[in-house]
């Protein structure tokens, strides 16, 4: 699966969880938070797409996705990325 399509799929999953994705420039890598009731995933837009994917994979690995429909190809790709991240 191409990174652009995979990133779009991950963004869809993040948004279905009720989080808003904010891509900003700044001196940060990215993370998630709840700010005044808004659930936000911050992504530094200065970094490449691979980094954005890694940030969302880390975030999603902390969420309960068992009852959420995610296309099998996307779940498989998520597992591959998570394995790579955990090996680092």
CA–CA dist 63, 48 (Å, integer): 24
What is the pTM assigned to this prediction? 0.89
3-87, CATH topology level: Zincin-like (3.30.2010)
Q: pLDDT for 1-53, tens place per residue? A: 899 999 999 999 999 999 999 999 999 888 899 989 999 999 999 999 999 99
Sequence-ordered alpha helix ranges (H) in 1-88? 3-16, 49-61, 72-87
Indicate the average pLDDT of the chain. 93
């Amino acid at each position: 699966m191409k990174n652009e399509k995979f990133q779009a799929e991950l963004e869809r999953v993040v948004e279905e969880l009720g989080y808003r994705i904010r891509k900003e420039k700044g001196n940060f890598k990215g993370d998630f938070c709840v700010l005044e009731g808004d659930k936000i995933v911050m992504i530094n837009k200065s970094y490449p797409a691979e980094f954005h994917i890694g940030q969302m994979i880390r975030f999603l690995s902390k969420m309960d996705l068992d009852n959420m429909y995610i296309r099998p190809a996307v779940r498989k790709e998520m597992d591959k990325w998570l394995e790579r991240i955990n090996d680092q």
